[in-house]
Amino acid sequence: MSTTFTLESSTSRANPTPAPMKRLTVPAIRARKVDGATADPIVMLTAYTARMAQLLDPHCDMLLVGDSLGQVVYGLPSSVPVTLDMMCAHGAAVVRGSYHSVVVVDMPFGTYEQSPEQAFASAARILKETGAAAVKLEGGEAMAETIAFLSARGIPVCAHVGLTPQAVNALGGYGARGRSEAEADKILADARAVADAGCFALVIEGVMEPLGVAITQAVACPTIGIGASAQCDGQVLVIDDMLGMFERVPRFVKRFANVADTISATAAQYAQAVRDRSFPGEEQVYRPKK
C-alpha cells in the first residue's frame, strides 16, 4: 500500500499512514495542455520542509523543492552555493509531507551542466534519495541534449528559461529578460528547443509579458509562469514571498499574507511572558499527584 507521513501536532513525530488518494503523475500534468490550451491551470508553489508540504499539498498540483532554499532557508546570497546534499535532504522531507502533488526537485548549479552523463548521475541520485517524481534544470538550447538524454532514460524533466537565477553572474542581476527583440528571439528559441527535447513542463521566469504569451503558444508542453504572464498554463511562486516572510516584494509577486509580522508579534508575546514569569503557567508544568 502506498503510504505518506502524518505529522502529529502534539509530538511533531512523522508516522506512516495510508495515502488518502493516488498522487498526481507527470503524464497527468503534461496532459493538462490539449491542443495548445489548458482548461485547468497548474498550481505550483515551492516547499522545503515536511510540514510546509503538508499544508500546501491539498491546494497544489506540483510542489517545487527549489534551490531558492539557498536564500530563504540558508541565508545564502544566491542559489549558486546550493549543494546536491541540500536538495536531497529537503526533497525527501517534502515527499514525506505530501501525498497529492507531483514533487519536482531543482538540480543545483554545477551538477548537470558538464555533460548528460553528469546530469543523469545527479538526477538519479535525487530521485532515489527523495522519492520525487521529476527534476528541474535551467537553460535553453544548451541543455536540450541533456533533457533528451534524461527523458529517454526515464527521468522526467521540467525545464526553465528566461531569467535563470543560477546564471545570475553571467546575466548581471535579476532584471526581466526579453526586453530586446534579439533577446526575446533567443529565449523563444530556447523554449522551443527544450520542449522539443522532451521536457514535460516549462517554467518561464522574469520575462516581458508578450514573450511569456508567445512561448506558451509556441510549445506543446504546459508552461508555468513566474513573472511571465497570466496566460501561461500555470503559475509558481516562492512560498516565502507569497506569505510575506521578507520585506522585499519582487514585482511579479503578490503577497497573499504577512506572516512575518505574525511571527514577530507572537515571538514578542512569548518573550514578554518569559520575562514577567507568566509562562510557564499552571497548565504547562508538572505537579506531583496527590
What pLDDT, in 10s, does the model give residues 213-258?
999 999 999 999 999 999 999 999 999 999 999 988 888 899 999 9
Active site residue ranges: 205
Query: From the annotation, which residues make up the binding site for Mg(2+)?
Result: 67, 106, 138
CATH architecture assignment, domain 3-259: Alpha-Beta Barrel (3.20)
Residues belonging to the binding site for 3-methyl-2-oxobutanoate are 67-68, 106, 136
Question: Does residue 274 register a pLDDT over 80?
Answer: yes
Q: Is the pLDDT of residue 11 over 70?
A: no
DSSP state string for the chain: --EEEEEPTTT--EEEEE-SSPPP-HHHHHTTEETTEESSPEEEEE--SHHHHHHHGGG-SEEEE-TTHHHHTT--SSSTT--HHHHHHHHHHHHHT-SSSEEEEEPPTTSSSS-HHHHHHHHHHHHHHH--SEEE--BSHHHHHHHHHHHHTT--EEEEEES-GGGHHHHTSSPPB--SHHHHHHHHHHHHHHHHHT-SEEEEESB-HHHHHHHHHH-SS-EEEESS-TTSSEEEE-HHHHTT-SS---TT------HHHHHHHHHHHHHHHHHTT-SS-GGGS-----
